Amino acid sequence: MSELLIRNACVIDPLNGINGEIMDISIRDGRIVEEVSGNAQVIDAAGCLTLPGGVDSHTHVCGTKVNFGRYMSPEDMRAGRTARNGCMHVTSGYSVPTTFGNSYRYSNMGYTTLLEGAMAPLEARHTHEEFTATPHQDMMANTLFDGNWAIMEAVRDKDVRRTAAVVAWYLKAARGFAIKLTNPGGTEAWGWGEDVSGIHDTVPNFEVTPAEIIGTMIRANEVLRLPHSVHLHCNNLGVPGNYQTTLDTIGLVPDLNKTRQSLYLTHVQFHSYGGTTWRDIDSKSEEICKAVNNTPQVTIDMGQIMFGRTTTMTADGPMEFKLYMLHRNKWSNHDVELETGSGIIPVYYFRKSMVNCVMWAIGLELALLTKNPWQCLLSTDNPNGAPFVKYPEIIALLMSKKLRDQECALLEPRTEHHVPLFAIDRELDWNEIAIMTRSAQAKALGIRDIGKGHLAPGAEADVAIYPLKTSEIDPSTQYQQVIAGFSRTKFTIKRGRVVSRNGEVIVDGANSTIWVKPKVPEEYNLSNDPDFVRKFQEYYTVRMSNYPVQDVYLPRGVCIETEADL
């Protein structure tokens, strides 16, 4: 039995209504408990800010496209190098670090749970292999269905039950966590030399529209009773005028779940552009936030960009090609058989570019104009908008109007006429930051019930203690202390063990992989469905028997079983 007692912690735990209370936290065998014995190891938090372990609900850290991003940019891998030190492996990389580099940097920032934003089922083994080499964070994977042939055929036939059965089979086979739609129908159309420009365009060869895919998948998700909602990368990412597509998409969303949203829209900064060309692009964050504020069944994340270099990667192949045509930089695209695709291109976001300045402003505007912080989560779509190590700077920008004004003064001068950010006075407080970085993310992902995102007895003992005393710091003026404090915890505790102390990882880790297995009636088990089996054999390059990920790839697998309403 292992016991740990954290004394004198200034706790903010929004899921349990605790906001700045000085209290003790008792931990036994990796879980938070009411009390521990006198033999417990003691940590004195000394009144410092203490939060549940951070949860990143949309990041790209593992998998085939991430790995391709690493060897595509050797100059990036020369950055951020650290030598082996005690239990720490050698690391390298800035925008696309090695798996151990990702894990150690997240630990130093107090993050303990990550959702990989996009995993192609056919390539799931590689993703799970990299999960096991990300030692200090529990991992989950959005599973891509945007161009899945079996899904589009079921949607075409208006068969929600068949759609749910296909999702159930692939989630179990890939050991995935949630449904991900990236530019639904668009990447598949592009594979045939075409594209879709709106949610009512028809996907060639399948006679379905993105709107039909989205609507049917939302309903199938609820039929399967999955913990997370559909996780959507909208059509028309990064295109001037695309805000209308985003508004049309929000208008599709039914209110089907009383404990979480019905649709999660990711990196909405990239989907909030007005104008008709790059010359007249402007922010439509006010229109997007008005729709979000009026649609409680929708949750978004920011997709904030930060100035500097990074690497973009997404299953939205057409978008990456358009980005290549703008930058003429290194570029790669990849097709994944009957499922999805991807693209990768390194980029640099410039302060002298008005387009980049508008993008930078929109991300902040989304967080500041969304009234309910439970509906707008902090993210950079790592590494697409910026590496996740920029989170502390984004937090400071959201908490300090003075810092935003200083940064705005450095923007390309025309930016002020294209964005509302300069006139926004709102400054977020400590509680709102805690919501946006862990509590709301755990709620949106549906993992509160397995002990994530809060500090009540029974929760997993994932705790972050920051060198910040909220009663002594004014974040609106002392923003440099905010940045420094959120960059490096005093203690990061994962499952009751101190894994990072004052910026140094001190123990090796053993993470868990969380996946979902919907239980469906036998008549909906597609392993025995003649049509599904026949098409699998005809079109896939692998045998159906070799397709599923074996348990050996999940040495610490945590399976969430759901009972489908079929």
What per-residue confidence (pLDDT) applies to 181?
98
pLDDT number for residue 258: 93
Render pLDDT for 169-197 as a digit per residue (tens, 0 to 9).
Answer: 999 999 999 999 999 999 899 888 888 98
DSSP of 178-238: EEEEESTTHHHHHHTT----STTSPBTTTTB-HHHHHHHHHHHHHHTT-SS-EEEE-TTTT
Helices (H), 251-344: 285-293, 317-327
pLDDT in the model for residue 13: 98
Q: Which two tokens stand for residue 398?
A: 């959201």
In tens, the pLDDT along 389-416 reads: 999 999 999 999 999 999 999 999 999 9
Instruction: Tell whether the model's pLDDT for residue 1 goes beyond 80.
Output: no
Average the pLDDT over 99-124 and give the result: 96
The whole-angstrom separation of Cα 349 and Cα 276 is 21
Element (H, E) at 58: strand 54-59
Mean pLDDT of all residues in 3-15:
98
pLDDT at 327 > cutoff 80:
no
Q: Is the pTM of this model over 0.95?
A: yes
- Say which residue, 38 or 164, is predicted with more confidence: 164
Split at pLDDT 50, 70, 90, the class of 328 is: confident
Q: What is the pLDDT of residues 473-503, one digit of tens each?
A: 999 999 999 999 999 999 999 999 999 999 8
Cβ atoms of 362 and 283 closer than 8 Å: yes
Segment 353-367, tens digit of pLDDT: 999 999 999 999 999
Give pLDDT, residue 416: 96
Q: Give the pLDDT of residue 195.
A: 83
Query: Is the pLDDT reported for residue 161 higher than 90?
Result: yes
Q: What is the pLDDT of residue 361?
A: 98
**Is the pLDDT at 326 greater than 80, yes or no?**
no
Residue at 433: amino acid letter: I
For the beta carbon of residue 296, count every other beta carbon within 10 angstroms. Answer: 13
User: Where do the domains of the chain lie, and which CATH numbers do they carry?
Assistant: 3-51+454-505 (2.30.40.10), 52-449 (3.20.20.140)
Nearest to 12 by CA among 364, 373, 303, 367: 373
pLDDT, one tens digit per residue, over 238-247 is 999 999 999 9
Q: Model confidence over 57-95: pLDDT tens digits?
A: 999 999 988 988 888 888 888 888 888 888 888 888 999
**In contact, 283 and 249? CB cutoff 8 Å:** no
Residue 240 preceded by cis peptide, ω within 30 = no
DSSP code per residue over 509-550: ----EEEEEEE--GGG-GGG-HHHHHHHHHH-SS-GGG-SPP
Q: What is the average pLDDT across 18-39? A: 96
